[in-house]
Structure 1
Amino acid sequence: MLRTQLTKFIKRDLNTHQLTEFLSDLQECSDNEKHFLVKCLSVKLVFSPTPITSSTAHALGQILPKLNLPVELLDVINCNLNLESLKMICKGISNLEHKMEFLELGWNKFGDDGVGFICVCLNNVQKLSLQGCGISATGLKVLCEKIKPLQTPMKHLDLNFNKFGDDGVGVIGDCLDNVRELWLKDCGISDDGKRNLQAELQRLGLPLLTIRGLWHEDGSFSSEDSDSNDDESFNGSYSDES
């Protein structure tokens, strides 16, 4: 009976509360029923801005590897993820059969302590947003060290609003050739730091706009205190540039 009810329920477009409710109910199903039901899930899983409990994170981590199709989007922006929840979700992503297109983790304040969990799933994520997660130069170093040896470059990495400043500039340079587009708006990087990044891009033979949010197309520097609704700001979606 529960399987029938959930099948009818999941075939609709689920809002954030319904998706959370579904994951809760799914825990009452047998393994065979879970395997059947998750095949009906949307390839876009949007939880933001509903807080995610540890039990919901545990359920999500369990069902992700069972999905039939590649996940286009997992949006958990500002969902109050704690470290244990982040760990369970990232473990599930690491076991995906297909790469995830876009993982949005922004505005969850897990800081440097969460970076290690994220690194576990980097091989299975094409685009990653870590806006405003409280990552310092220490956490950035760990992240960049894991990005550098990736076999396939990341399409997008959004580090906007993490205040690592110039301490992160040298670290970023180590992985620039393995990220197609890197957002660094409002990261506390000085003009000297920006010039160093431009020089590193030139040394590597990479386009100036590999890095976004620090300068305009002509290379002139953007203002760090510009409005977050400017054209260069993150707007919830990225172009899929090759």
Structure 2
Amino acid sequence: MEEKRSAKRIVPIVVLLLLLGVGGYVLFSPEGEEVAPATDGQMDQKSDSVALPLPDSGAAVDSMPEPQGEVPEVEPDVEVPERKSAPVSPEPTPAPESAEPEVKPVKPEPPKPAPKPEKPAASPAPEAPKPMPKPVQTVPKPAPAPEAPKPEPAPEPVDASKVYKVVDVLPKFKNGDMKKFQSYVSQRVVYPAVARETGVQGLVQVGFVVELDGSISNVHLVEGVDKSLDDEALRVVKRSPKSWTPGMLRGVPVRVEQVVQVVFYLR
């Protein structure tokens, strides 16, 4: 039984090998040549072998049906003429199609030639130096002679009878200034009763002229406040002693006008 099983396994293998050999010979034989005719035994063997079913790839070898009758033996003496097969050039395999579009290579542009340096414009020829003008000698004009100073007008002669307001030396009362005479008057005035009752007070200005002999004259009211106050101030000035030193103008004693202020205020 084991020998029969081994024989059953060998037969399909031999048939497959024969089919593969014949198919390869036909495939690689040159065009125009015919395959040599097979012998009767080979034809019978082929017919028998074709009738056999091929084993399925998933089925086991043991499940193949047993051939009916005896299997003809292959004659080993049959020789298949060897023929040289012409080399077959392999067909070029098509390149796989890519989903991306074919990008054509960009040819780099040749570098632009560098601009040629412009030739500098020819500079104009230097002009001949102009002759220097001769210096003109100017003679300075003589400065005008300074004008002689005009003589000052001669001062007016001092008039002893004229009353002056501006003098070189002011009159003095008992070798004192005007403040001393003002103090003398303020100590001797009597506040009028009428002005005291009515509450009148203020500043009274009295003018007078200091004479050449030291006395006063032309006593008058310059600015008053009330009649009672004005009369009291005039009374005291008129009764002042002959104690004045006259004023001086260019070294000459002159008559000078003066003004004294008498203050009346309630204590």
Does TM, normalized by the shorter one, top 0.5? no
Q: Which has the larger radius of gyration?
A: 2
Q: Which has the higher helix share?
A: 1
TM-score in terms of structure 1 length: 0.16
* Structure with the bigger percentage of strand: 2
